[in-house]
Structure 1
């Protein structure tokens, strides 16, 4: 009740609501499922949220490793380089090795590229929905544990085998991987006090000397062009050096000796050129022109 002091009347006050706000107390501690035998934590959202949080931590760690070291760069792609051995990243080495076997390649390539990877990755995605058992101890889940262990062993074996075969191929062909070759070149430049550079292009070769000489036309008809190219740049990664600047290393007589007797991977080319219609005089002019290919001072 309330009184009106001016008029002396008594006014009735009616409360239409409670102004007090009740405090809601929530228990954020998850229940201890070990007290309920045979029961487990709900997969969605409880377990899935924990897995996602752990995955984020690992993702941040991987990103830190990625940005801490620059990616190794090789030379620009050269489709004519037959000595190059392509290799995927390490996490795909097991698939790379799998496709080398006869039952997953050639006539069975669909099996190796679609069926087997589809079963593996599809089973991994569907595992939470297919394996709905309450048991969490791996030795009480023989089927799921056996499949997981077999997959892990297969992936490790294929990865190690693939890397071993790659090392054997490098030794057999005497090939140095391009990213290692570029790294060694950068170290040599730094040791010599030269700028290492960060580009992706190979060092520029010297220009062609006396490009309008008649011997240049003889070169185009000779067998040299098939390995050293019309621009005299060669294919260094395949063992065919550039002929630009060859005059700094060999004189005319030495070049003629190489044409007649060969050197390194290059077999003797004199008789082959004679068989193509070139004369002995043409070969002398060609050797003289190649001896003129020197770097500009």
Structure 2
């Protein structure tokens, strides 16, 4: 405490020496680090979360505007169905098709767990492994190269998977179930049916199975036709019924469909039936029996 105006007088401060002087709450100066101007936590991270929230809301709006495509109820006996994941998993779906990640248990483990685990684990550990101060990507060649390579790989696998799927549909003359179901609903609306197909096309009114004691009926029970048209000829999983098929096609036309298929959605099944144990004479008998299926 000063008692006069003498500049040499000893000054004694009165107060609790245990109270420490605190630094003002000012943001840290990052001007010494090129490309970085603020603290990562919480300043930069909060901005990233806000941008992520806006993007998420935008995605949700797009999802609500377009209803999800729906096919028919799952049918394990429908051999014409081609399973496909959502678009954001197409790259993983394509990866699992390659021979070095499929075939035995080790390869399946490698493709389904090991490789994805390394990729996503590396992405999670990147902030801890790459601790350099530089933030400009062209001055971080290793990290930037790995990220660009990963992005190119994902895009390539996605495009290849989708292209192969389209080729399969064309080669097998298949219409995707959600498109076929939508077309059937539109046709039902135009016909005054209310727009619901019930999963399978119903047979014509009054159509029944004809000549069940014919040898062709026993051959039908062994044929691959059961996979799509059911044992009672009513059809399943959106496939057409065969009851009353004789009113549309004669024996020769049915044989032609068996051998060459019919658009849309009917692939050739002649070779498949031969492999299933039927002979050419059996298929001829089967075609003759199907031609007898007419309305009564």
2:293 matched residue in structure 1: 290
After superposition, the Cα gap between the structure-2 partners of 1:61 and 1:96, relative to the gap in structure 1 and judged at 3 Å, is same
Q: Within 1, Cα distance between the matches of 2:101 and 2:198?
A: 36
String of CA shifts for 1:231-267, please: whole Å, max 9, x gaps: 1124576xx74222335435xxx35x567xx131255
After superposition, the Cα gap between the structure-2 partners of 1:166 and 1:142, relative to the gap in structure 1 and judged at 3 Å, is same
After superposition, the Cα gap between the structure-2 partners of 1:200 and 1:134, relative to the gap in structure 1 and judged at 3 Å, is farther
Q: Does the alignment pair 1:88 with 2:85?
A: yes
After superposition, the Cα gap between the structure-2 partners of 1:218 and 1:236, relative to the gap in structure 1 and judged at 3 Å, is farther
Q: Contact 1:216–1:289 (CA<8 Å) still a contact in 2? A: no
Q: Within 1, Cα distance between the matches of 2:122 and 2:258?
A: 51
Task: Give SS of 2:127's match.
Answer: helix
Q: Within 2, Cα distance between the matches of 1:283 and 1:158?
A: 44
Q: Within 2, Cα distance between the matches of 1:82 and 1:263?
A: 21
2:11 matched residue in structure 1: none
Task: Give SS of 2:55's match.
Answer: helix
RMSD between aligned alpha carbons?
3.4
Q: Does the alignment pair 1:48 with 2:45?
A: yes
Q: Contact 1:73–1:200 (CA<8 Å) still a contact in 2? A: no
Q: Within 1, Cα distance between the matches of 2:90 and 2:156?
A: 10
In the TM superposition, 1:132-211 aligns within 5 A as 132-192=131-191, 194-197=193-196, 201-206=199-204
Q: Within 2, Cα distance between the matches of 1:194 and 1:241?
A: 17
**Shift in Å at residue 103 of structure 1?**
1.4
Q: Within 2, Cα distance between the matches of 1:283 and 1:196?
A: 33
Note the residue ranges of structure 2 that are not aligned, 5 or more in a row: 1-23, 260-269, 271-277
1:272 matched residue in structure 2: 282
Q: Within 1, Cα distance between the matches of 2:235 and 2:102?
A: 34
Note the residue ranges of structure 1 that are not aligned, 5 or more in a row: 1-25, 275-279
TM-score by length of 1: 0.70
Q: Within 1, Cα distance between the matches of 2:42 and 2:144?
A: 24
1:97 matched residue in structure 2: 94
Q: Within 2, Cα distance between the matches of 1:65 and 1:139?
A: 34
String of CA shifts for 1:34-79, please: whole Å, max 9, x gaps: 5343665333333222211111111111111111111111111121
Larger Cα Rg: Structure 1 or Structure 2?
Answer: 1
Q: Within 2, Cα distance between the matches of 1:291 and 1:172?
A: 32
Task: Give SS of 1:44's match.
Answer: helix
**Shift in Å at residue 118 of structure 1?**
0.3
After superposition, the Cα gap between the structure-2 partners of 1:208 and 1:216, relative to the gap in structure 1 and judged at 3 Å, is farther
Q: Contact 1:222–1:273 (CA<8 Å) still a contact in 2? A: no
2:123 matched residue in structure 1: 124
Q: Across the two proteins, how many residue pairs are aligned to each other?
A: 248
